[in-house]
Structure 1
Amino acid sequence: METINSTLEYLDDYLDYYYNNSNVVSVQEEPSHGGKDISRILSVVIYSLTCLLGILGNGLVIVIITFKMKRSINALWFLNLAAADFLFNIFLPLNIAYTAMNYDWVFGEALCKLNSFLLNLNLCCSVLLLTTISIDRCVSVVFPVWAQNHRTIKLACLICIVVWSAGFLMSCPSLIFRQTVSHQGKMVCFNNYSLSKKDHDLGVKRHTAVNVIKFLTGFAIPVIIIMVCYTIIVFKLKRNRLAKTKKPFKIIIAIIVTFFLCWTPFHILNLLEVQYAHFSHVLFEIGIPIVTALAAANSCMNPILYVFMGQEFKKFKVGILSRLVNALSEDTTYSSLAHRSFSKMSSMTEKETVFL
């Protein structure tokens, strides 16, 4: 009985301090209801704009790449990014309704699991694709001849399958631990890492493990890989002065920077909530809804970046479709590297010199 009571107290604490589901006020520290309401309303506004812009923008990108553009590796990367975002966007109305109803989940446990799964799938696939794009860029610059011979559509498709498979596996904890429970007269959709009334300590360990692994695989390690790749690219291009245009380079950098700006607060609060009892629960009640909405907003950002960076913004005569096609088309900068390398090899062979 003591174990059961302890677990129930833990569940109450979990729901009171955690995620964006608490409506219970601690005796020691009463949060500002005005702050909670502002946080919730702001989240609804962000979700609504994200849903509208995301469905329209990502849907347009998918249509353009599928029906209006020739097949290319760059287009394939952008198609998969748009697909991950679009899949999340079409389920976003569930989050809008949940937040608008003051976190009362009325859609059943299956959709509770699916909704959380899609958010994590969007995170995992997006960050894995951005890391893949960075590695692809780096290889194209450092080894242009090899890239010319081995960088194929077939290989890119295989990589995309691996990325989606990895994203699915990384998102599976949502299908296992996400549950609904009646709490304080409302149905709450939350992560129950205990699973049973006797697994309090194990639940804490599971929670810590899931959040730390998510931080490492969905943030820290990709950041390191991406920074290393683009550091190498910058030094290589500056040393050899190979880049004719910085446009494609700027687009990818903008996408990556935007991604991490949107997701960094989310990961920070997810790490902090592992030790939720050591922090004011006001931080989570007000902060979690906002950072979750900000993370979700990333799913509508890429099409906007394609439009405003595909051509110079001052050229108003260029239509949106033209800008999108321009931004999504194969990168001429890196393909030119292989051409130059081949030319260099031919020239040096004629002079009977050693290719360094």
Structure 2
Amino acid sequence: MENTTTFRLSILRNSTQPPSSYDSKEKQILYIFSIIIFSLTFLLGTSGNGLVIWITTLKMKKTVNVMWHLNLATSDFIFTLFLPFTIANTALNHHWPLGRYMCKLNTMLINLNLYASVLQLTVISIDRCISIVYPVWCRNHRTPRLASFVVLAIWILALVFSSPFFIFRDTHSFNTKKTYCIYKFDGDNLRSEVASSREMGLLVTRFIITFFIPFTIIVSCCIIIMFRIQRNNMAKTSKPFKIIVAVIISFFVCWFPYQVFALLAMSVKRTKDNCLKHVIAVGYPLARSLMYINSCINPILYVFVGQNFKEKFWRSIHSVFENAFVEEYTKSYCGVENVIVASSNV
């Protein structure tokens, strides 16, 4: 019972801590692996999404596609920006020293941007499908103004869906000097039927909203797009097909394992199968790391593959270096010219 409780608390913390009965070397490997993945995700996610925000905000015309990409990059950027808190929490063996409010806020913001990112991916797929199936309607009604309202709706829905993570997240000490940031679904009674029901409800709701419905919509839209492109001979190369397939594969690979392990974790309290406990304890942190990596893949799939963005990117880089050298040359030239003028006046 003690081992089962320990494992459930590790899942409630949304952490990578396996049960205390497992080998300390195995736990150490999981910690190190998680810290490395989270750190790489932070570096690549903040730099990649930050670059997308810079290009789309300053260098590109505000079109519907640009607004989609900007919103997706913003949600992924905020998500990766808060990863250092998760990294520090993992490095401290899941001790949370930042207090109750930051415990709630950090968890809510991470889930807020996870919801916003998934919803935006779904909207992008729907928009691309409508653009191909109903091109006339899109020319008349698909405007940046309408896109701005859709973006606002995405964030409102994401805020509503992520609010339970703020409500039920709290700090707790388990008769030690450590403070953990965990879920409290029924106050301090962590093993009550009410807590179990609320936990299951939250996990099932998250699975439906962040995976089942989005994945069904994305796959359906991609299939429609592929058939329409193939039927109308709209693509001269296979590149659009590869991008569509890459979208489906990346979404499925990054999200499905995490959702499955999160649901399987609920069955631990009802089973005495130590093998299942071990599989979940090892698989859950790996699946969670894979989910985080999705925020680094999004800029590549949805933005960098676009020819217009790539042209703007290289022009911007060229412009930055060109302006730097021109400015340096101008300063040097003006300095020499001033010396010559001053000498001629002596």
So what's the TM-score if we normalise by structure 1?
0.78
Stretch moving more, 198-207 or 278-287: 278-287
Q: What one-letter code is carried by the residue in structure 2 that aligns with 1:14?
A: R
Partner in structure 1 of residue 189 of structure 2: 197
Q: What one-letter code is carried by the residue in structure 1 that aligns with 2:130?
A: V
Q: What one-letter code is carried by the residue in structure 2 that aligns with 1:262?
A: C
Partner in structure 2 of residue 302 of structure 1: 298
Structure 1 residue 320: deviation in Å? Answer: 9.0
CA distance 1:64–1:223, change in 2 (3 Å) = same
Q: Using the alignment, how far apart are the partners of 1:17 and 1:165 within structure 2?
A: 27
Q: Using the alignment, how far apart are the partners of 2:260 and 2:68 within structure 1?
A: 28
Structure 1 residue 58: deviation in Å? Answer: 0.8
Q: Secondary structure of the equivalent of 1:288?
A: helix
Structure 1 residue 20: deviation in Å? Answer: 2.8
Greater relative contact order (Cα < 8 A, sep 6+): 1
Q: Runs of 5+ in structure 2 lacking a partner? A: 318-346
| 1:229 maps to 2:225 | no
Q: Using the alignment, how far apart are the partners of 2:315 and 2:86 within structure 1?
A: 31
Q: Secondary structure of the equivalent of 1:195?
A: strand
Q: Runs of 5+ in structure 1 lacking a partner? A: 1-5, 312-317, 326-356
Q: Using the alignment, how far apart are the partners of 1:86 and 1:272 within structure 2?
A: 30
So what's the TM-score if we normalise by structure 2?
0.80
Q: Using the alignment, how far apart are the partners of 1:324 and 1:211 within structure 2?
A: 44
Q: What one-letter code is carried by the residue in structure 1 that aligns with 2:228?
A: K
| 1:50 maps to 2:44 | no
Q: Secondary structure of the equivalent of 2:179?
A: strand
Structure 1 residue 106: deviation in Å? Answer: 1.1
Paired-residue identity, %: 42
- Alignment counterpart, residue 15 of structure 2, candidates 20, 24, 29: 20
| 1:292 maps to 2:288 | yes
CA distance 1:17–1:154, change in 2 (3 Å) = closer
Q: Using the alignment, how far apart are the partners of 1:323 and 1:291 within structure 2?
A: 38
Stretch moving more, 185-194 or 246-255: 246-255
CA distance 1:23–1:146, change in 2 (3 Å) = closer
- Alignment counterpart, residue 278 of structure 2, candidates 279, 282, 299: 282
Q: How many residues in Structure 1 have an aligned counterpart in Structure 2?
A: 309
- Alignment counterpart, residue 57 of structure 2, candidates 66, 71, 74: 66
Stretch moving more, 93-102 or 31-40: 31-40
Q: Which has the larger radius of gyration?
A: 2
Q: Secondary structure of the equivalent of 2:189?
A: coil
Partner in structure 1 of residue 164 of structure 2: 173
CA distance 1:192–1:10, change in 2 (3 Å) = farther
Q: Using the alignment, how far apart are the partners of 2:291 and 2:218 within structure 1?
A: 19
Q: Using the alignment, how far apart are the partners of 1:151 and 1:17 within structure 2?
A: 43
CA distance 1:121–1:257, change in 2 (3 Å) = farther
RMSD: 2.9
